[in-house]
Amino acid sequence: MNGRANGHVTNTTQSYDVIIVGAGISGVNAGYRMQTTLPNSSYTILEGRADLGGTWNLFKYPGIRSDSDLHTFGFPFNPWTKENPIATGESICTYMKETASKFGIDQHFQFKHKVVSADWSSDAQLWRLEVDNEGTRKIFYAKFIIMGTGYYSYEKPLKAHIPGLEKFKGTTVHPQFWPEDLDYKGKKMVVIGSGATAITLLPALVEGGVGHVTMLQRSPSYVMSQPQRKTGVVNFYERFLPTWISLRITRIRFLVLPYLFYLFCRRWPDKARALLMGEAQKQLPKDFPMDPHFTPTYNPWDQRLCLCPDGDFFKCFANGRAQVVTSTIDTVTSDSILLSNGEKLDADIIVTATGLNLQFCGNISLSVDKQPVAVPSRFMWRATMLSGVPNLFLIIGYVNASWTLGADSASRLLTRLMGFMAKNKYTSATPRISEEEAKEKRLPLNLTSTYVKSGVGNMPHAGAKAPWLPRDNYMRDSWFADRGDLRLGLEFVGKSS
Ligand SMILES: Cc1cc2nc3c(=O)[nH]c(=O)nc-3n(C[C@H](O)[C@H](O)[C@H](O)COP(=O)(O)OP(=O)(O)OC[C@H]3O[C@@H](n4cnc5c(N)ncnc54)[C@H](O)[C@@H]3O)c2cc1C
Ligand SMILES: *[C@@H]1O[C@H](CO)[C@@H](O)[C@H](O)[C@H]1NC(C)=O
Ligand SMILES: *[C@@H]1O[C@H](CO)[C@@H](O)[C@H](O)[C@H]1NC(C)=O
Ligand SMILES: *[C@@H]1O[C@H](CO)[C@@H](O)[C@H](O)[C@H]1NC(C)=O
Ligand SMILES: *[C@@H]1O[C@H](CO)[C@@H](O)[C@H](O)[C@H]1NC(C)=O
């Protein structure tokens, strides 16, 4: 198969060196790394949906936007050139489309191709995939699979345990399935949750003419304002440096400053807390009660810090059409929510912004020589491969920095590994963990937010020592991707054996 840009195609089967599953940020990025690092290998990107974008194509709720800056969330090989660091879902999709066509990655997409199962054959040293293409079953073969399938289920949202919700006669909406024709103008809404989604929704709903909206949170989160750049304002270095250097400096600034802030939060949690709360108070209406609505019980960065552009979240409380309530739900009635503090919230629409249903490997049933692989029982080698599973890469990014930074380190690592294998005439690499090493388990995504806690059972493990450690920080992971020793923890099979 080598030496062919396009895979081998017959009516019923297709063969490639590499199959990438998913056309989200991770899949597109992996496609770029494939074609630049291994230009002689054939690859295709199988995407279950009708379009690219992944997360940014799926979520349609009002105001949907990143809460990372696009200078680091964007692709390192095609820097974000717009002025606003925080971008809308739509502009992220456009940017992804432009990137895919600029580098010819779009030639490799096959949409409406949902991978159902994948079985590794040790005899053939190949993966065999069953793919559903609008009801037609197709078979694909590949030497390697790269899972750019994200980390949550697209079909099944996290079940929110809200007592009495079934009695509610109004409209219940999950942000993952926002009806695009939902009319909330003049209506009373309650948004349950305090994460990034709720914080994005509130100002957007106020702007969109909601009658009144309550953000109902069980416990508060940290929210930080991210100043958006005013049009026409230029950084001093942009005045005299060529654009590509300026873009690089901007990227480095956005890499380093948040990292320093992260270290500051870890080292001096009390000071960080005071700083975040002080900044919030400045932007909230006068006399807004900070306690309990903006006084989290955890330390900054124990959970992902929510960013809001130009403090829009704080400012939306000014005209009295938005409020925040910190309490727990006693029960939902046909037209209201009764709280344990005795309060009653009337509602026409309830939004359950309570999180994602964690899922890895896109609900594909995986097997090795027909033996089923339960993903959550496996350990992750360098946060990119699963123990006991040959030639399969699973891309997970960072949760305390832009996802893409981690996804790109993973892609650089796995393409280098493929090159290394080709050079040594290895046909497969399988991570092997010893019983001793498997004794101590860690989380590959280390955050304590509710949805991560409730989804722990769906996640593979990380270990306490290299090469099983969770992703660390970008500088170190990036160094390892380009220069680290590839052999530790891997078992190789060569051509002759
Ligand atoms: C509302 C929201 C906001 C977020 N904001 C940020 C942010 O600001 N910064 C940040 O760093 N992270 C953010 N995240 C996390 C975000 O999901 C990741 O940053 C990033 O978009 C993930 O990209 P991905 O390509 O890995 O996965 P996804 O975007 O989830 O894409 C996975 C793709 O794989 C496809 N797929 C899955 N299974 C199969 C299958 N079996 N067969 C074929 N195709 C399949 C899916 O259809 C999808 O297109 C956010 C997440 C959400 C939900
Ligand atoms: C790809 O193939 C061409 C022609 O066979 C060869 O000259 C080139 O070195 C190969 N590139 C890589 C990266 O292997
Ligand atoms: C996974 O796929 C199976 C069918 O193969 C389906 O029954 C199940 O609901 C899916 N699970 C999720 C979480 O999407
Ligand atoms: C998460 O990270 C903290 C330090 O940042 C560490 O103390 C803790 O053990 C980690 N938890 C898991 C489950 O890996
Ligand atoms: C993210 O958290 C890990 C520990 O959980 C830490 O080692 C790393 O430095 C953090 N990275 C950033 C960019 O904040």
pLDDT of residue 433: 97
Tokens representing residue 336 in the block: 């209201």
Total number of residues shown for the chain = 497
Cis peptide before 292 (omega within 30 of 0): yes
CA 151, 154, 158, 160 torsion-angle sign: positive
Rounded Cα distance, 34 and 442, in Å: 30
CA 171 – ligand 4 centroid, Å: 40
Rounded Cα distance, 84 and 70, in Å: 8
The C-alpha angle 244, 247, 250, rounded to 5 degrees, equals: 155
- Confidence grade of residue 231 (pLDDT, cut at 50, 70, 90): low
- Confidence grade of residue 3 (pLDDT, cut at 50, 70, 90): very low
For residue 393, pLDDT over 80 is answered with yes
Rounded Cα distance, 123 and 188, in Å: 62
- Mean pLDDT within 291-305: 82
Tokens representing residue 462 in the block: 């990380």
Which ranges in 12-88 belong to alpha helices (H)?
A: 25-37, 55-58, 70-73
- Mean pLDDT within 27-44: 98
Which protein residues touch ligand 1 with a CB less than 6 Å away?
21-27, 46-49, 54-55, 59, 66-68, 73, 114-115, 148-150, 154, 196-197, 356, 362-364, 395, 397, 402-403, 407
pLDDT of residue 29: 98
Cβ of residue 423 lying under 6 Å from some atom of ligand 2: no
Beta strands in 358-460 (DSSP E): 365-368, 371-372, 380-381, 385-386, 392-394, 426-431
Q: Is 25 exposed, middle or buried (0-12, 13-18, 19+ CB in 10 A)?
A: buried
| Best mutation site among 259, 396, 473 for ligand 5 pocket (most ligand atoms within 8 Å of CB) | 473
pLDDT of residue 230: 66
Residue type, 38: L
- Mean pLDDT within 298-327: 87
Rounded Cα distance, 284 and 485, in Å: 51
pLDDT of residue 399: 81
Output the average pLDDT for the chain: 90
pLDDT tens readout for residues 257-275: 888 888 888 888 899 888 8
Q: Which residue has the higher pLDDT, 384 or 444?
A: 384
pLDDT tens readout for residues 122-131: 999 999 999 9
For residue 203, pLDDT over 80 is answered with yes
CA 278 – ligand 5 centroid, Å: 24
339, containing H or E segment: strand 336-339
Burial 287-326 (b: 16+ CB within 10 A, else e): ebeeeebbebeeebbbbbbbbbbbbbbbbbbeeeebbbbb
Q: How many Cβ atoms sit within 10 Å of the Cβ of residue 24?
A: 23
CA 326 – ligand 4 centroid, Å: 28
pLDDT of residue 300: 81
Tokens representing residue 490 in the block: 């891997």
**What domains are there in the chain, each with its CATH number?**
3-155+357-494 (3.50.50.60), 165-352 (3.50.50.60)
Q: Which residue's CA is the closest to the ligand 2 atom numbered 2?
A: 40
Closest CA to 74 of 52, 58, 91: 91
pLDDT of residue 1: 38
- Mean pLDDT within 286-297: 85
- Mean pLDDT within 294-310: 82
For residue 2, pLDDT over 70 is answered with no
pLDDT of residue 286: 85
Helix axes 89-102, 25-37, angle to 10 degrees: 20
- Mean pLDDT within 97-122: 98
For residue 66, pLDDT over 70 is answered with yes
CA 23 – ligand 1 centroid, Å: 9
Cβ of residue 339 lying under 6 Å from some atom of ligand 4: no
For residue 94, pLDDT over 80 is answered with yes
For residue 234, pLDDT over 50 is answered with yes
- Confidence grade of residue 287 (pLDDT, cut at 50, 70, 90): confident
Which protein residues touch ligand 5 with a CB less than 6 Å away?
259, 262, 400-401, 446, 472-473
CA 72 – ligand 5 centroid, Å: 15
Burial 424-438 (b: 16+ CB within 10 A, else e): eebbbbbbebeeebe
491, containing H or E segment: strand 490-494
